[in-house]
Amino acid sequence: MLRPKFRTQEFADAGMTTFEKHINGLISRIPRDGSEVDLQPLFFWYTLNAALEFLVGQDVTSSAGDDITKIFNDAEKHVGEHLLLPSFLLGRARRKAKQRKQDSEAQAGLKKDDPTEDKYTFLQELIKETDDVEKIRSELISILLAGRETTASALSSLWFVLAKRPDIVEKLQAEVQSLGGQKPNFTQLKSMPYLQNTIKEVLRLYPPLPGNLRAATEDTVLPKGGGPEGKAPIFVPKGQIILYNVYSLHRRQDIFGPDADIFRPERWEDNALRPG
């Protein structure tokens, strides 16, 4: 139900408008005196607020945005604790999070751009497909959870690289300047090769999800992984959980060459390499 929605021009245009608005808000929070600043919390603030407006059309004020970020972080912490601690120890944390949510909504509140009828939201697109409230809620939460963490992590890694590689910054600036001062649209951004290759290289060397797992839905045989050297086929029964290390896979020299540990966007100019 979701995947086709990500491919529409309306989706791309709405995303560009929303993300540009909130990136300006992020920039305004950076000190102008040249002092040191930790960008990662700002990236998490940015991705949460941009996602909220894009998904459900809620434009949060600065103070409300900070409150929502705290609520979101508390919720994530609670989920982690719930996996480790018995439920009777978590009652106080639940009440505290619930009260903070109610206070935030009552005092700072959420304001919507007017008129909302003319504004694209992902929620509206989901409602066109189903009236199942639980399904819609689950889809939105899934996107919010996945998008916030991974995007903020990728942005943090990108700026970590750019801070150490002025040569890459210069090439990116030259590519942006080739637009002649015009604001790029989504299609133009996708057509900027060095920018796209830089993003691919960030995701390769510093994957936001460094490890993952999959469960076999049926009996199958993988071509490699068995035998003393791991080169023989291996049987995987239905229901078997397979864990894999994305961080290590992305640094394999047999795939990315002897310089696999080096940040080099130019490697993606080779059509033999395609992101998975």
Q: For residue 142, what are the domain limits?
A: 3-167
51-60, 89-98, 157-166: lowest mean pLDDT where?
89-98
Q: Judge whether 189 and 205 are in contact, CB under 8 Å.
A: no
- pLDDT higher at 37 or 143: 37
Residue 87 is assigned to a structural domain of this protein: yes
Name the domain count of the chain. 1
User: Residues with Cβ < 8 Å from 110, sequence gap 6 or more?
Assistant: 58, 59, 60, 64
Residue 53 is assigned to a structural domain of this protein: yes
Whether pLDDT at 83 is above 90? no
Whether pLDDT at 208 is above 80? yes
Q: Judge whether 200 and 265 are in contact, CB under 8 Å.
A: yes
Residue 189 is assigned to a structural domain of this protein: no
Residue 99 is assigned to a structural domain of this protein: yes
Per residue in 150-207, pLDDT (tens digit) is 999 999 999 999 999 999 999 999 999 998 888 888 888 889 999 999 999 999 999 9
Residue 176 is assigned to a structural domain of this protein: no
Residue 179 is assigned to a structural domain of this protein: no
Residue 183 is assigned to a structural domain of this protein: no
Per residue in 130-139, pLDDT (tens digit) is 888 888 888 8
Give pLDDT, residue 106: 36
Per residue in 5-48, pLDDT (tens digit) is 555 666 677 677 788 888 888 999 999 998 899 999 999 888 88
Strands 211-215 and 241-245: antiparallel
Separation of alpha carbons 110 and 155, rounded Å: 26
Q: Judge whether 176 and 252 are in contact, CB under 8 Å.
A: no
Give pLDDT, residue 216: 95
Residue 196 is assigned to a structural domain of this protein: no
Reported pTM: 0.75
80: left (phi over 0), alpha (psi -120 to 50) or beta: alpha
Tokens, residue 45: 């603030």
Average pLDDT, whole number, for the chain? 80
